[in-house]
Structure formats: C-alpha cells, structure tokens
Amino acid sequence: MVDWVGLTAAGLMIAVVGFGWFRGWSMVQSLIVAMFGVFMLGVVTSPGLALSLVGSSLVESLAWRPAYIAPSAFLHWPTLVTTMFLHADAVHIVMNVVIFVFMGMGLEERIGRGRLLLVFLGGGIIGTLLHTFYVLVAAAPVEAFRPVVGASGGVFAVLAAYATLYPRDKVVLFFILILPNVPVYIAALVYTAMELVALEFVGGLGSGVARIAHIGGIGGGAFLAFLIMRIRPVQRGKEAGRPIDLKALESRIETPEQREIYDRFIANKDEPELARAWLERLADMLPCERCGSTMHLGKDTLRCTCGNRVRYRT
C-alpha cells in the first residue's frame, strides 16, 4: 500500500521531470534532480536520518518486486518505473549518477531529450523484467519478494544505446582510474565485461546487486537504439530538407536561456544530430504567441497543441 511518503515521492518524480521538460532542461539533469529529490525525501522521513533507504516506507511503497509480475498484482506494475528513482544508499545513487552524467549528456545532445528518456525508462524496464524472469526460472521464492531498486538498468541502457549509435564518440571512463577521451564502445565493452565476470563469479542472485538487470539494460539499450535508427536513421551527412530560416528563428528569442540554446544550435549547425537536438531543445522553450504554451519541433514548422504553426524552414 502506498503511504503519503510514497505518493509524495511519485508526485515529485512526475513534477520534476515534467517541469524540466516544459522548461527545456536537459533530461539527464531533470532525472538526476528527481532521483536526488526522492532519495533526500526518503532520508528525512527515515528514523535517524539514515543515508539508506533499505527497509524504508519509500521502498515498501514504490519498489518493484519480481512477485509483482503476477496478473493479480497489476496495481503494482507502475513500480517498474518508480523503482528506477530509488537507491539503496548514498554510494548507490552517486555511482549511478556519475556514470549517467558522463554517458547520458553526450547521448542526449545527439538524439534529443525525448529519445533519451525513452532509452532510459525503456531499457530500465527491460532490465528489471529480465531479472524478474531470471528469478522465476531459478525458482527463488525469497528473491521474488526482494525489492529491486536503482537506475542502473536505465544507465546501462543509455550506455549501450550510445555505443550502438555513436561508437566513436569520446567519454570519460571510470574504471579503477578516471580515463578521459575513451571511445564509448570501449566503455560499453568494459562495463559489460565487468558485469559478466561478476555474474560468473558472484552469481545473479543473493549478492545484493541485480546483475541480470544490468545486463538486461545493456541489451535493452542496444535494442532501443536499433529502433531509433529505424524510425529516424542516424545521419552522417547534412540533414535533408529546406534550409533553416535563422533570422525567423532568432527573432523569437526572448530570454537568456533561449539565447544560450540558440547559440549552441548555431555552433553545431554543421553536425546534423547535434543541431537537431539543440533545435528540439530550443523549440520546447519558445512560447506560442497564440496561447502561451510551448512549441514543439516538426519537420518544417514549430507546432503548438492549439493548432498554431510557425514555419522555421525557408
């Protein structure tokens, strides 16, 4: 049963990510703020202000358990998402956030906020479900009721998608030492190998770490990357379509935040994927002159839900 702490945490997740979306924030940053917000809520509502959510009412309310896969437990299925915002302790959340920042920011610049969110949530859910099926196949009744928490599945999904779509992009690799300028496919191979070795020598159950969920996240991220390529193929050359009317676009700039995003778009206009991502970010920040809502990027126009269309290509 969800108590007031759980309801507050769920509302916080939705509010932060939703507010960030409409304000044009980075999706990676919005997700991280939501994670830390939920973690701090769990800390301040736990006895003794312990930096751990293990056994807390928050975990009891919003964490996924493999037993919830049963059709009779369908009311608990939303915890497939909420469990990704929960972390066992401070070390757990910091490790996930550090990797997420260095892998997620680069991918978000390439594919945009919406697709980044799809990869993170979709890959995390795939990883959690794979762990669930592993528990069922292993016939481990104790593990079936053990909470599975953390964003690791989603973070590994982002890493795998990045390596699949843009394997030669450079990232910072945290592996014993901090190694800068490592091709993202190398980082993905290193982390995947670490998980497979740990799975072989530690096992998939009973260690306190859901290794199968991590591996499932990697597979899910790669799968979602292929879907992204089919829906909108990764472009290596100049983007097709009419030229962008820069004067018309710039005339709509009203705030310093919009100006910053516009300048980043201009700086990357010869890199189609980066330019598209910054243009999407800018569109989400521009108000509709008809109703005041934010606009959204179409093929040749900025669109609003009220029906207003503003052409941004000549």
Burial class (CB in 10 A: 0-12, 13-18, 19+), 4: exposed
Please tell me the least confidently modeled range out of 121-135, 142-156, 294-308: 294-308
For the domain 4-231, what is the CATH code? Answer: 1.20.1540.10
Confidence of residue 83 (pLDDT cuts 50, 70, 90): very high
pLDDT of 235? 47
Domain positions in the chain are: 4-231, 246-311
Mean pLDDT of the chain, nearest integer: 87
pTM (whole model) above 0.85:
no
pLDDT digits (tens, 9 = 90+) for 1-46: 578 889 999 999 999 999 998 887 889 999 999 999 999 999 988 8
pLDDT top residue among 52 and 221: 221
pLDDT of 50? 72
Q: In whole angstroms, what is the distance from residue 266 CA to residue 271 CA?
A: 10
pLDDT of 53? 86
Secondary structure, 3-state, 212-228 = HHHHHHHHHHHHHHHHH
Q: Could you tell me which residues come within 8 angstroms of residue 38 by beta carbon, excluding any fewer than 6 positions away?
A: 9, 12, 13, 58, 85, 86
pLDDT digits (tens, 9 = 90+) for 234-270: 444 444 456 787 887 888 888 998 899 888 888 887 7
Q: Mean of the pLDDT values across residues 77-85?
A: 97
